[in-house]
Amino acid sequence: MKKPFAALAGAATALALALTGCSGTVAQPSPTATEIVPRQISWLLSRPADGSVITIVKKLADEYAATHPGFSLNLITTPDRPSYLQKLQTLAAANQLPDLFDTDATPFTQKLVKQGKLVDVQRMLTDLGLYDKYRPLALDYQRFDDGGLYMVPFEFELEYFWYNKALFEKAGVSVPKTLDDIVSLCKPLRDSGVIPISVDGQDGWPLLRYMSYQPFRIAGPDYIDKLKKGEAKMGDEVGSKAVQWMADLGSNKCFQDGFSSQGYTDARDLFTSGKSAMYQIGTWELASLTNPEVPAEVRDNTDFFTLPTTEGAVTADNEYTVVSGIGMAVNQQTYDPLMKDFLKFVLENYSERLAASGHLTPMKGYEPTIPAGSSELYKRALAGVDDLGEKIAFPWDTKLDPTTNTLMQQELTLLVQGDSQPATFEQKIDASIAENAPKFFG
> Is residue 185 exposed (0-12), middle (13-18) or buried (19+ Cβ within 10 Å)?
buried
42 binds another protein (CB under 8 A): no
376 binds another protein (CB under 8 A): no
Report the residue from 411, 422, 429, 437 that binds another protein according to the rule CB under 8 A: 411
Using alpha carbons, list the distances in angstroms from residue 423 to 49, 236, 249, 258.
43, 11, 16, 23
**Residue (of 174, 251, 291) closest to 415 by Cα position:** 251
406 binds another protein (CB under 8 A): yes
Number of Cβ atoms within 10 Å of the Cβ of 236: 16
**Which residues are within 8 A (CB) of 136 and not within 5 positions of it... i.e. 6 or more apart?**
none
In angstroms, what is the minimal distance from the CB of 395 to another protein? 16
In angstroms, what is the minimal distance from the CB of 106 to another protein? 10
The site string for another protein over 233-272 (x = CB under 8 A, - otherwise) reads -----------------------xxxxxxx-------x--
Using alpha carbons, list the distances in angstroms from residue 210 to 98, 156, 163, 281, 306.
34, 20, 16, 11, 13
Nearer residue to another protein within complex by CB, 157 or 401? 401
In angstroms, what is the minimal distance from the CB of 355 to another protein? 35
CA angle, corner 149, sides to 112 and 318, nearest 5? Answer: 130
Q: Which of residues 103-122 bind another protein (CB under 8 A)?
A: 108, 111-112, 115
CA angle, corner 358, sides to 352 and 364, nearest 5? Answer: 45
413 binds another protein (CB under 8 A): yes
Report the residue from 244, 357, 374, 410 that binds another protein according to the rule CB under 8 A: 410
**Residue (of 359, 419, 417) closest to 385 by Cα position:** 359
> Is residue 384 exposed (0-12), middle (13-18) or buried (19+ Cβ within 10 Å)?
middle
Report the residue from 47, 217, 436, 437 that binds another protein according to the rule CB under 8 A: 436
Size of the site for another protein (CB under 8 A): 36
| CA 249/CA 201 separation, integer angstroms | 14
Report the residue from 15, 172, 419, 421 that binds another protein according to the rule CB under 8 A: 419
Using alpha carbons, list the distances in angstroms from residue 263 to 133, 200, 279.
37, 5, 13
Q: Which of residues 187-216 bind another protein (CB under 8 A)?
A: 195, 201-202
Nearer residue to another protein within complex by CB, 201 or 230? 201
414 binds another protein (CB under 8 A): yes
Mark the segment that binds another protein (CB under 8 A) among 12-20, 64-72, 85-93, 214-222: 85-93
Which residues make up the interface to another protein (CB under 8 A)?
Answer: 82, 85-86, 89-90, 92-93, 108, 111-112, 115, 195, 201-202, 256-262, 270, 275, 402-403, 405-406, 410-411, 413-414, 417, 419-420, 436, 439
